[in-house]
Amino acid sequence: MKSRLRYYKRKIFKNYFILGIIFKLPHLIVLSLKFPFKLFFLNRTIKTVKNNRKIVAVSLTKKIGDIISCEPIVRKIRYDYKESFIIWFTETKYKELIDENPNVNMVQGLHCLSEWILFKYFIKFDMVCDFHFHGKTCCILSIVNDEGNKEIDHNNYFNFGTLLDIYSLTSGFIPIDHNPKFYIASETIPQADKLKLPDTYLVIHCESDSKQKGWGKENWTLLLNFILNELNLYVVDVGANPKPDLVKNPNYKNLCGISTLFLTAELIKRASLFIGNDSGPAHIANALDTYGIILMGDYYHFKNYQPFSGDYFNGNMATIIRANGYVKNLPVQTVKSFVKDVSKKIIKKA
């Protein structure tokens, strides 16, 4: 019996090892081919712009909400070191989040966290602002980030406050309570104009990148019908992934999977109200000063966690509805009541 168990353990280990090699090999090839060229051109850029300027490297490889939450720290760096040359390192698919930021001189696209760790090793920056947790492992190549605040990790990070607080402490800064800002490309304005939306409308975002934050399609559909039929408000549905219309109504516009990131941001900026869960678009709404109704509950073992800073934190521009347990436990009637009350105040004020 024991010999058979050993046999199966060896077989499982061998299969996982082979699968790991198959998965990592293409990424290793891409990294080995592209990184030397990236390193060469970045070194050349630094030599060109140096001229007694402080070269500041900032890095957070993902995600939308996290990158937006860190924006006040970079703004503070620019304020403290006005003549510095700030380079933000992030995964290529998130570059556009930072491209329009006037406080950042250059955005360097990355294949993965491992590439950032290699850049840190080969280039001597005057200042490094690394928002990654100590001990964070690259999910692609398994290289470990061995720098940063050793007290903060994935098991306890929300015990240290908002995302802005957390990333301030991780990178060695004193936490600041500032509203984040999001910078939209100017060419997005005519794109939004072409949609010819009414002056007053709501934006909803029903998606979630984790099951713990999801409210459920049925709940969102019930809420939508209430907003459209009883409150008589126009609703724009946004999200990264295409999906069928949740309802059939002339006052409902489904832009999921169609709208670009900047267009989504511009639509949120123009909206009278944003409704969603803890997500990237919710952080965009906070950064654009659009009033939000945010549905929140437990996130893994974190209870009453608060990712938002600024006016979403202090309640000036947000109503946060908390569930008992996960968000899916929020009664639809409770959310309807909040939406009815808040929409009356906000739209009347607008």
The tokens of 55 are what? 């070269």
Q: Is the pLDDT reported for residue 1 higher than 60?
A: no
The tokens of 255 are what? 């832009």
Overall average pLDDT of the 154-182 stretch: 90
Overall average pLDDT of the 275-298 stretch: 96
pLDDT at 3: 53
- C-alpha distances (whole Å) from 226 to each of 222, 230, 317 are 6, 5, 23
Cis check: omega of the bond before 63, within 30 degrees of 0: yes
pLDDT at 4: 45
Percentage with pLDDT > 70 across the chain:
91
pLDDT at 11: 41
**Which residue segment(s) compose the domain that 118 sits in?**
17-171
Where residue 138 sits, what CATH number does that domain have?
A: 3.40.50
The tokens of 18 are what? 């082979």
Question: What pTM value is reported for the model?
Answer: 0.89
Helix, strand, or coil (residue 287): helix
Q: How many CB atoms lie within 10 A of CB 113?
A: 25
Show the CA angle centred on residue 42, arms to residues 39 and 47, nearest 5°.
Answer: 125
Same domain as 163, residue 66: yes
DSSP at 144: B
How far apart, in whole angstroms, are the C-alpha atoms of residue 17 and residue 84?
45
Same domain as 197, residue 127: no
Phi, then psi, of 190 in degrees rounded to 5: -65, -30
Same domain as 273, residue 242: yes
How far apart, in whole angstroms, are the C-alpha atoms of residue 90 and residue 81?
21
Question: Number of structural domains, the chain?
Answer: 2
Beta bridge partners of 293: 275, 319
Overall average pLDDT of the 34-51 stretch: 91
Overall average pLDDT of the 46-74 stretch: 93
Q: How many CB atoms lie within 10 A of CB 164?
A: 27
Q: Is the pLDDT reported for residue 12 higher than 60?
A: no
Average pLDDT of the chain is 88
Same domain as 248, residue 323: yes
Same domain as 276, residue 321: yes
Q: Is the pLDDT reported for residue 172 higher than 60?
A: yes
Q: Is the pLDDT reported for residue 15 higher than 50?
A: no
Residue that is last in its domain, among 123, 143, 171: 171
Same domain as 225, residue 330: yes
pLDDT in tens, 208-245: 878 889 999 999 999 999 999 999 999 999 998 888 88
Q: Is the pLDDT reported for residue 33 higher than 80?
A: no
Same domain as 222, residue 120: no
pLDDT at 23: 55
Cβ pair 342, 228 in contact under 8 A: no
pLDDT at 146: 82
Residue that is last in its domain, among 124, 141, 171: 171
**Is 176 domain-assigned?**
no
**Is 6 domain-assigned?**
no
Where residue 278 sits, what CATH number does that domain have?
A: 3.40.50.2000
Same domain as 262, residue 138: no
Single-letter amino acid code for the residue at 298: D
pLDDT at 52: 86
Same domain as 227, residue 125: no
Overall average pLDDT of the 284-288 stretch: 97
**Is 323 domain-assigned?**
yes
Same domain as 153, residue 230: no
Same domain as 192, residue 166: no
Q: Is the pLDDT reported for residue 151 higher than 60?
A: yes
Q: How many CB atoms lie within 10 A of CB 1?
A: 5
pLDDT in tens, 179-217: 999 999 999 999 999 999 999 999 999 988 788 899 999
